[in-house]
Structure 1
Amino acid sequence: MDESPLVIFLMGPTASGKTELALSLYRQYQLGLINVDASQIYTGMDIGTAKPDRALLKQVPHSLIDIRDPAESYSAADFRQDALGAISAIIKEGKTPLLVGGTIFYFHALEYGLSPLPPADPELRAEITKEAEDVGWPQLHERIAAIDHEAAKAVHPHDGQRIQRLIELYQLTGEPPSQLRARQQRSPLPFRILKLAIFPEDRETLHRRIENRFDLMLREGLIDEVRMLKERKDLSMEMPAMKMVGYRQVWEHLEGFFGYNEMRLRAIAATRQLAKRQITWLRKYQGAEYVDGDNQILLQKASCEIDRAINK
């Protein structure tokens, strides 16, 4: 029997029922919950991130929620360091860590480690951003494709943040980014890992849940939440926190780029695209146990996998 501590990953696309399943498992097992959602780390961004409310967080504590101001940066390396600390603290309490969220890259970074890439260069980033304003991110994406086809394939032509980083890495090192990452020094977790992935087969149901959830966010005051963030003078639409799905579209609506109905449609479409990318990541994730079904079926399947892992 393997005596190393068990750590559970609960991954899945947005609006797939991860939170509900995590809460059900929390009531059934001795667990400590750790957030793996890049948007929920930010304070003041509650409605649009579907963050658990304060009453629930008081009953069911989550690590790594509300740990950064939206004006601050937060990287996968930051997450890995914070998550390792949270895992250790939960294990010391005699509980099993349950990491739950949809930022699949964070799970990967935690499990395998990160390559020692050069840090961000503010001056170079400013130059790249200025060029993008002149020619557009798709043209810079074409430049990356000419240098590093593999890296470019994984990035959308309008994903300015990631295109900027790829160009920055190439200009700082002179090497294609995919080669830098191929030399990644693995530092696997010293734990047994059970990887549960909610993999919705019925996309129509997922799309309907996405639409209903965004409409609920609007009713709960998402526009006012974004307006308060926008009124801060230290935030802009180009910051990573403000590029989060839903927030960007509402911000642009408040800027007058388009009306309410167009904003709603754009946000729902962007959320569907996010879910599609998350599902693509999950397909590639090695060793994941895929589960699907309604809440009760998900709980039964997940419980079965956890019981099996505990008794190994």
Structure 2
Amino acid sequence: MSDARNKSAPVLIAGPTASGKSALALAIAEYVGGVIINADSMQVYRELSILTARPQPDVEARVPHMLYGFVPAAAAYSTGRFIADVTDAIAKAREAGQRPVIVGGTGLYFKALIEGLSPIPPIDPEIREHWRAEAERRGAADLHGELMARDAQMAERLASADTQRIVRALEVLEQTGRSLAHWQKVRGVPVVNEAEAVRFLVTLDRAELYARADTRFDRMIAAGAIEEVRALAALGLDPDLPAMRAIGVRPLLSVVKGESALGAAAEAAKAETRQYIKRQETWHRRYMISWKHVTKQYMESQSRDIFAFI
């Protein structure tokens, strides 16, 4: 799968939320003298530390961490920007003589890393602003209907409430005259050579994973997750921004607004997490079948084997 003899090859660590992949990344980075680089689309947001389980200062003090908490929640961070940022982060790590250890739960980020991004032409700012204004005026469902009429193939892939992706599909269609589905088939330039990278997929029994996720969310509440969401709400951001759709934000916003009790909101957030875990596992089965699977028990008892593999 990988050439473990390459001492500078990136180590990629994926896995569902609450699986323990961050702990594995920390152990590996300490062992190889590496730097941990984030590949989680929500841990990039500055205002979301607790709810995204971002590494805390005591952990960050042990090894260098990059691409965590550096984007304001008012911005919509994209896969394209991630690729630009992670390319720069890998280069800086290597310049410093540190091995890149890239960890996260966003499967699309890893896919883009090893396959490259489709070379979609830049969108004219006027076209972009037009469709954003249309989304605000007409709503996602109406725009989805228009996309269905003009590009049924792409519309069928998107939920009728997914404003951000619907707008993206429409602006690409107008700019290029071709469906976003067409561009997604065009391979880009990989950032990481898949044959050289060491790739781990952390796996757990689903029941155990759910239990760990539930316990972790209870700890988030105790650590101040409600206060974090209250501060986020005070910014008055567009509810369709990615940060506002992070798991747990909407249920806890209902608590902040006095619309629901904490217990009901916590259960809703836990249900969101379980659905997200299912989607992650589906992605892993489709795109990461060749990665080295590592269970929690294996991590705990066979760390020497993992280090030797690296």
**Match of residue 97 from structure 1:** 100
Instruction: List per-residue Cα deviations over 1:53-97 (Å, max 9, x = no partner).
Output: 112212222111121111123211111111111111212222221
CA distance in 2 between counterparts of 1:91 and 1:66 reads 22
Residues 121-132 of structure 1: pairs in structure 2 closer than 5 A: 121-132=128-139
- Say if 1:207 and 1:272, in contact at 8 Å, map to a contact too: yes
Aligned match for 2:59, one of 56, 61, 76: 56
CA distance in 2 between counterparts of 1:188 and 1:287 reads 20
Aligned match for 2:264, one of 262, 268, 280: 262
Residues 275-290 of structure 1: pairs in structure 2 closer than 5 A: 275-286=277-288, 288-290=290-292
- Say if 2:163 and 2:240, in contact at 8 Å, map to a contact too: no
Q: Which moved more, 1:149-158 or 1:93-102?
A: 149-158
Number of corresponding residues: 302
Instruction: List per-residue Cα deviations over 1:132-156 (Å, max 9, x = no partner).
Output: 2xxx54x655665565565455544
Residues 195-274 of structure 1: pairs in structure 2 closer than 5 A: 195-200=199-204, 202-233=205-236, 235-274=237-276
Aligned match for 1:181, one of 164, 180, 184: 184
Instruction: List per-residue Cα deviations over 1:219-276 (Å, max 9, x = no partner).
Output: 111011110121124x232222111111122123323443322211221111111111
Structure 1 residue ranges without an equivalent (≥5): none
Q: Secondary structure at 1:37's aligned position in 2? A: coil
Instruction: List per-residue Cα deviations over 1:6-64 (Å, max 9, x = no partner).
Output: 11110111111111111222232222110111111111211101011112212222111
Change (3 A) 1:217 1:244: same
CA distance in 1 between counterparts of 2:97 and 2:189 reads 28
**Does residue 148 of structure 2 align to residue 112 of structure 1?**
no
CA distance in 1 between counterparts of 2:132 and 2:269 reads 27
Aligned match for 1:7, one of 7, 10, 28: 10
* TM-score w.r.t. length of structure 1: 0.85
Instruction: List per-residue Cα deviations over 1:77-131 (Å, max 9, x = no partner).
Output: 1111111111112122222211001011111222222123243702212202432
CA distance in 2 between counterparts of 1:249 and 1:79 reads 28
Q: Secondary structure at 2:198's aligned position in 1? A: strand
Q: Secondary structure at 2:209's aligned position in 1? A: helix
Letter in 2 for 1:229: L
CA distance in 1 between counterparts of 2:70 and 2:201 reads 25
CA distance in 1 between counterparts of 2:287 and 2:307 reads 18
Aligned-pair CA distance for 1:159: 3.1
CA distance in 2 between counterparts of 1:112 and 1:172 reads 24
Change (3 A) 1:58 1:124: same
Letter in 2 for 1:103: T
CA distance in 1 between counterparts of 2:80 and 2:110 reads 11
Change (3 A) 1:211 1:15: same
Letter in 1 for 2:213: I
Change (3 A) 1:160 1:272: farther
CA distance in 1 between counterparts of 2:25 and 2:184 reads 32
Change (3 A) 1:80 1:37: same
- Say if 1:32 and 1:90, in contact at 8 Å, map to a contact too: yes
- Say if 2:131 and 2:170, in contact at 8 Å, map to a contact too: no
